[in-house]
Structure 1
Amino acid sequence: MANSTQLTVLFQRAPHGSVSGREGLDLLLLNASYDVVSAAAFVGDGVYQLLANQQPETVASKNHIVTFKALPMYDVDTILVCQQSLQERGISADQLIVDATIVAPSEIAALLGHSKEVLTF
């Protein structure tokens, strides 16, 4: 985790039922495309954002989940997922759509503390 993270987007809501996750992802990709050093963190129900094999069309929602795979292409190399949140929801790391770093809540707190801006979705 870089001490010079300019923007961290904190995902803490489930992906469907609101546009919050899609808006956070769009903002993250947009900033990264302008060479803003960016990171993503997933806590609470936000870990569902990365869950593979979702079928959002069954709830009349658009599938933005696959777009998370683009994060490395935009040089978003810091993708942290809260281990405690995964455990509480019975999700394992191999069920996630991206290669993320599974960390303790304290490591996410450290990232947030070293970020110039934190936006929550």
Structure 2
Amino acid sequence: MKKLGFVFSSAPHGSASGREGLDAVLATSNYSEDLVLFFVGDGVMQLLADQKPSDVLSRDYISTFKMLSLCDVEEIYVCADSLADRGLSEHPLVIEVEKSSSTDIAASLGRCTKVLQF
């Protein structure tokens, strides 16, 4: 089974990278059910609840992550180490994810045929 991995590693609202990555995932989900999402480094901030992007004149796309469940995207991992490094281990996230160590995420990435980074 070929899996396509999407790695979110940049903070939201500083660039369009996160929004573009989410758009790519949603579009790809129409053609494949073998998608795996990884949130690592500053990318863990993509999933933080209670963001106020309008304060920095950005579009609020974070709530769109909730559509992933409607698109049958079920394998979603967030790096527990990255959350801890940023003091966000207990902060609520907008969707249900599996918190994994960086070692486990690296192993899961190795099982993906192709990996796209945003």
TM (norm. structure 1) is 0.92
Task: Tell me the number of residue pairs that the alignment of Structure 1 and Structure 2 aligns.
Answer: 118
Gaps of 5+ in 1: none
Look up the match of 1:13: 10
Q: Give 3-state SS (helix, strand or coil) of 2:58's partner.
A: coil
Q: Which has the higher helix share?
A: 1
Work out the CA distance in 1 between the residues paired with 2:34 and 2:7. Answer: 15
Look up the match of 2:92: 95
2:101 is the alignment partner of 1:108: no
Work out the CA distance in 1 between the residues paired with 2:89 and 2:25. Answer: 24
Work out the CA distance in 2 between the residues paired with 1:33 and 1:91. Answer: 32
Runs of 4+ that moved beyond 6 A: none
Residue 106 of structure 1: how far off its partner (Å): 1.1
Look up the match of 2:43: 46
RMSD, matched Cα: 1.2
Matched AA of 2:37: A
Q: Give 3-state SS (helix, strand or coil) of 1:87's partner.
A: helix
- Out of 78, 82, 85, which is 1:81 matched to? 78
Between the aligned residues of both structures, percent identity stands at 46
TM (norm. structure 2) is 0.95
Matched AA of 1:82: C
